[in-house]
Amino acid sequence: MLDAVVIDGNAIARSVRQRVYDEIKEIQSTQTRFNPNLVIVQVGTRPDSSAYVRMKLKAAKEAGISCEVRKFPEDISESEVLEEISVLNDDPAVHGILVQLPVPRHISETKVTNAVVIDKDVDGFGPLNVGELAKRGGNPLFVPCTPAGVMVLLKESGVKIRGKRAVVIGRSDIVGSPVSYLLKNADATVTICHRYTNDLEEIVKSADIVVAAVGIPEFVKGEWLKKDAVVIDVGINYIPDASKRSGQRLVGDVDYPSASKVASLITPVPGGVGPMTVAMLVQNVVNSAKRSYAAQDKRHITPLPLKCLKPVPSDFEISRAQHPKHITDIAHEIGITDHELEQHGPYKAKVSLNILDRLKSRKNGKYILVGGITPTPLGEGKSTTTVGLVQALGAHLNKIAFANVRQPSMGPTFGIKGGAAGGGYSQVIPMDEFNMHLTGDIHAISQANNLLAAAIDTRMFHEESQKDAALYKRLVPPKKGVRSFTKSMLNRLERLGITKTDPNALTEEEVSKFVRLNIDPDTITWRRVVDCNDRHLRSITVGQGATEKGHTRQTGFDITVASECMAILALNTGIKDIRRRLGAMVVASDIHGNPVTCEDIGAAGALTALLKDAIKPNLMQTLEGTPVFVHAGPFANISIGASSVLADQIALKLAGTEAGEPDSKAGYVVTEAGFDFTMGGERFFNIKCRTSGLKPDAVVLVATVRALKLHGGGPDVKPGQALADEYTTENVALVTKGCENLKKQISNAKRYGVPVVVAINRFVTDSDAELAAIREQALLAGADDAIPTNHWEEGGAGAVELAEGVIKAAEKENNFELLYETENTSAVEKLEIIAKEMYGADGVELSELARKKIETYTRQGFGNLPICIAKTQYSLSHDPKLKGVPKGFTVPIRDVRASVGAGYLYALAAEIMTIPGLPTHAGYLNVEVNEKGEIDGLF
């Protein structure tokens, strides 16, 4: 009688690992980022567990898989292990998680193995994978490694399974039951037995295939077997053996000497199923990585259906009629993980900046700027166009597309302007949450700004009431007997040229220099802020209390979005950068004319702490379920009037492409510049793009028949008053004449070297002839296209042609350049360049105050900063009465101020209100909360 043929598990496992290795290398030849990654969680230091882990590490290395072991002490708590698994579940770089068993008794094996998400359960132990395997026609993501190895052994050994009788001895969820499911699915007739099964020997004797997984040494005897049966021994058992150095010997569940005399094929122990278990593990990891990368490459936005009614209801009615997707669904569709998402209710969330590091290898998506021609006081629909364009790209053209917009201030919300969520069927939802509080960023800005204001007045008070020694003692008090400088103090000492770090080592002269800021009260530029329209706070007196001992001074309030802290929120690139910028803010000059900064005051660290969460962009959605980043809201007159650099950077990566992907797969990030292009667009390029290094692929200029008729000589347009007949009846000549303003704005945009598409925001009163005239004039002026849109009435469907035009324009050659360079161009020269090239002015005329301010800032080292001009948005000039394209004017610059932390100067060309007032009939009069707790009366 011949002995059974031994099934060499080691050899078959080697071939599996080699196939895996070859497969990885083939994929990496076209996708360099492909890197299958397994993490093994090991609790305790059991020798057998450590041995198994070493085997898995070796196999992973041979197969070309990254493998890391996370080792934890025996006494780690169950909750800590579960938290670790949760973090790994959400890490896209991890494709497989294996909890090495057994775990200590105080930890539930079921809990920790079930905690691994189904798509990383490479051991196949989770209930979803096991459940799918048990179902007829089920589709598990992973088959448990040992059962999968058993099936490969049978296949590689040429065993025909269909129609054969198979007996599985053992009913565990890890081996016995899954093997039975696999054999059944391979069309075998399967019987499951266990050690207590009656007539077990007779049942086994009927089997063509025997799988022993009972966990009892040498349990199955040769005489139990049918002649020429195939025997798969899964057992791993140690029995005493004095001849062995260890005193024990490894055996299986089958009595090998007797079984090998009867069987036709048999697996040895060791060297049979064991190596296959590890081989199938590495195969599962690779399969998981392939699915993961495929899912990333197939990012897809599922649009919400939109039922457009006519006549179009109010914005608020439209918003409430649509049921938004849960914010986690939005996040998953665009590739944001749960650990990168901080939910604030079901429909809004903050996004962690860590995502930038995870996606750093991606090429950015397409970057689109929406600007506008010189508007009427009613606005021409830039926000609505931004949202409508993104809805068209994402919901109708199957692109990954983001709208990146500013967070609205509650001042205008409760005042007269209204919200900033877009309008009609192109808006951000839920619009009440969008316009009120959101996630509290504006309140954080208010608190940070006002903390610094209080610190300035407090410092002046204490400097006036104390001598140097006493002041120094209180500024640097001992803590547990030790005095030390704070980070801000060390930064101030460095500025003063003092290199000492021991507070006790300073001389009297150095102490005096350190403690005396000597702020000149007349030079303080820092004001308090509130997110409310309140005209009575424009000018106030502080310090009138009896305890302030007569330290009164004139100051005032600005609206929060006018704070330099808000501009810094929009322009910073991370926590380190915002800390630096906040410290650099100049709040006053000292009596010698030197700048006094927030760092000198010692408040930069505290301000950073107040804004550490505010720097994370907020995620929302449009009416059609496409993603929106809402972040920062700097004033569009004295600041950049754009959403944040960080939101743009994150969106561009989420919309971007991986190495090896075609550029055609790139998504789109559409952001908006406040006011007309001479203001918002100019600042977007020369300040925001200069700061971020980002370069737009195209500009969309929003124009309306209404605005062009105004610039062609039509009567004034005033909020709250009916439009004159000229605006509601066809007048092609008036439109054509007004197109001179459009042509100038096209020229302004093309000055930066990017393609320009004109979006003609269509109103119901516009005629086809008027729209055709605008298109003709726009193309003559060099626009790449000019396309009528009806997104206010039709949502994204009304902007599909615009979206197609933008896609074409964004593929064109881009010769991006800035308007001026900063280092060798004086502040006055920059003002001249902006006025002449953007406005069409003859030049600028500086007041004596403005000239002195420029001289001071230049002397203080700020002359190399970019500059913007605060002026009216209702004219290319500084005079709102001058419509069309004014000629022969000079821009008067009455004052120049510095936002050093934000990184720019700003010149005032007119009286600019930094805190609006409330009208007689203000928006707050209409707002109520109904019995359901819902807000009514907004817009």
From the list 42, 100, 447, 745, the catalytic residue is: 100
Cα-flanking dihedrals φ and ψ of residue 172, to 5°?
-70, 155
Yes or no: say if 586 and 900 are a contact pair by the CB < 8 Å rule: yes
Closest C-alpha among 445, 380, 454 to residue 411: 445
On the 0-12 / 13-18 / 19+ scale of CB atoms within 10 A, 105 is exposed
**3-state class (DSSP) for residue 523:** helix
From the list 42, 56, 616, 777, the catalytic residue is: 56
SS (H, E, C) 800-843: HHHHHHHHHHHCCCCCCCCCCCCCCCCHHHHHHHHHHHHHCCCE
End-to-end Cα distance, the chain? 93
Cβ neighbours for 344, distance < 8 A, ≥ 6 positions apart: 350, 438, 439, 618
Q: Which two tokens stand for residue 127?
A: 């209930």
| Angstrom distances, CA of residue 613 to CA of 350, 442, 445, 617, 653 | 8, 11, 11, 9, 21
Closest C-alpha among 754, 702, 708 to residue 731: 708
The DSSP bridge pattern shows strands 341-343 and 349-351 to be antiparallel
From the list 42, 119, 120, 123, the catalytic residue is: 123
Cβ neighbours for 146, distance < 8 A, ≥ 6 positions apart: 174, 175, 179, 213, 234, 273, 276, 277, 280
Q: Give the H or E element holding residue 520.
A: none
**Cα torsion through 4, 7, 10, 13, rounded to 10:** 180
Q: Which two tokens stand for residue 387?
A: 């949202």
**Dist CA 534 CA 807 (whole Å):** 44
| 558 is a catalytic site residue | no
Cα-flanking dihedrals φ and ψ of residue 639, to 5°?
-135, -165
On the 0-12 / 13-18 / 19+ scale of CB atoms within 10 A, 73 is exposed
Q: Which two tokens stand for residue 332?
A: 């998953």
Q: Which two tokens stand for residue 41?
A: 């969680």
Q: What distance separates the 2 farthest-apart alpha carbons in the chain?
A: 114
| φ/ψ bin of 424: left (φ > 0), alpha (ψ from -120 to 50), beta (otherwise) | left
Q: Which residues of 697-714 are buried (b: 16+ CB within 10 A; e: fewer)?
A: bbbbbbbbbbbbbbbbeb
Cα-flanking dihedrals φ and ψ of residue 701, to 5°?
-105, 120
Cβ neighbours for 160, distance < 8 A, ≥ 6 positions apart: none
| 100 is a catalytic site residue | yes
**Dist CA 934 CA 320 (whole Å):** 10
Closest C-alpha among 670, 669, 791, 800 to residue 396: 800
Q: Which long-range contacts (CB under 8 A, 24 or more apart) does 309-312 make?
A: 310/793, 312/424, 312/425, 312/792, 312/793
Yes or no: say if 388 and 799 are a contact pair by the CB < 8 Å rule: yes
Q: Which two tokens stand for residue 704?
A: 């309306």
Side-chain-side CA neighbours of 305 within 13 Å: the count stands at: 2
The DSSP bridge pattern shows strands 426-429 and 618-622 to be antiparallel
| 28 is a catalytic site residue | no
| Angstrom distances, CA of residue 604 to CA of 69, 218, 495, 518, 617 | 41, 73, 15, 19, 21
Partnered with residue 378 across adjacent β-strands are: none
> What are the residue numbers of the active site?
56, 100, 123
